[in-house]
């Protein structure tokens, strides 16, 4: 089924088109989600939210970009929304403990379970260290680096997903690589 036909059928509410979309993108969206949120349950929840948003918003899809680009943009935004909410909850809980209104702090960490589908068992420890370093990058660098190096998107695709120019994506990627080199160099110096 070609893309325009799929879009037309999705916008017409055809169940077969939704099943086709899920079959085509479910694993890819989950891979993107777990790249940003390396906790399987949370990544699955966010991936579900992505498809709910796609199903709810497909009637508004104008076709300015490829369908896949639109889906990855939704996935990236949903992941960032999840991370921001999680960080806000932690800050609120921390403030509550300082003010004496102690409430249970959510001690869950994104890295409590590291099961990224592309990582072999013997590389999990190294991968967890790398993903922790990636998650310490500034948000714009983290997004671009994750989409490029973890999800394998081209710079042009990333530019469309994040709504920036190609040169902006390239310079942000350069800064992300440099920042990661520094973070990982510090880790390995302290580890020896």
Spans of all domains in the chain? 1-109, 118-192
Give the pTM: 0.69
- Residue 102, token pair as written in the block: 């102690």
pLDDT tens-digit profile, the chain (192 residues): 788 898 899 999 889 999 999 999 999 999 889 888 878 899 999 999 999 999 999 988 888 889 999 999 999 999 989 988 887 655 555 444 444 444 443 434 444 444 555 555 556 677 777 778 888 889 899 889 988 988 888 999 999 999 999 999 999 999 999 998 888 887 666 554
pLDDT of residue 95: 47
Q: What does the pLDDT read at residue 111?
A: 43
Burial (CB < 10 A; 0-12, 13-18, 19+), residue 117, is exposed
CATH topology of domain 1-109: Rna Polymerase Sigma Factor; Chain: A (1.10.1740)
Q: What's the number of CA atoms in the CB half-sphere (13 Å) around residue 146?
A: 31
Q: In the block, which residue shows the tokens 């020896």?
A: 192
Tokens of 75: 């996935």
CB of 73 within 8 A of CB of 158?
no
Q: Which residues contact 188 (CB under 8 A, 6 or more apart)?
A: none
Instruction: Give me the pLDDT at residue 122, please.
Output: 55
- Among the four given CATH numbers 1.10.357.10, 2.60.40.10, 3.40.50.2300, 1.10.10.10, the one describing domain 118-192: 1.10.10.10
Q: What is the pLDDT of residue 72?
A: 92
155-162 helix and 67-98 helix, angle to the nearest 10 degrees: 60
Q: Which two tokens stand for residue 121?
A: 């068992």
Tokens of 139: 């948000």
C-alpha to C-alpha distance for 188 and 69, rounded to whole angstroms: 36
Return the residue matching tokens 């920036």.
Answer: 164
Does the CA dihedral 65-138-98-110 come out positive or negative? positive
Q: Is the dihedral of CA 174, 175, 178, 184 positive or negative?
A: negative
- Nearest Cα residue to 17 out of 58, 45, 76: 58
CA 141/CA 169 separation, integer angstroms: 9
């Amino acid at each position: 089924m070609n893309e325009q036909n799929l879009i037309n059928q999705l916008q017409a509410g055809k169940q077969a088109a939704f099943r086709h979309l899920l079959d085509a993108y479910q694993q890819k969206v989950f891979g993107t989600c777990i790249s940003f949120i390396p906790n399987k349950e949370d990544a699955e929840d966010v991936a579900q939210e992505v498809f709910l948003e796609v199903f709810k918003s497909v009637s508004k899809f104008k076709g300015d970009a490829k369908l896949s680009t639109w889906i990855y943009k939704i996935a990236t935004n949903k992941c960032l929304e999840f991370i921001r909410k999680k960080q806000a909850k932690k800050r609120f809980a921390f403030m509550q403990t300082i003010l004496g209104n102690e409430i249970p702090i959510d001690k869950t960490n994104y890295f409590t379970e590291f099961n990224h589908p592309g990582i072999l068992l013997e590389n999990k420890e190294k991968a967890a260290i790398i993903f922790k370093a990636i998650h310490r990058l500034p948000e714009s660098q983290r997004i671009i680096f994750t989409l490029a190096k973890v999800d394998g998107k081209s710079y042009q695709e990333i530019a469309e997903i994040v709504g920036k120019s190609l040169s902006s994506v390239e310079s942000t990627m350069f800064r992300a690589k440099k920042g990661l080199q520094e973070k990982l160099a510090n880790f390995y110096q302290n580890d020896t």
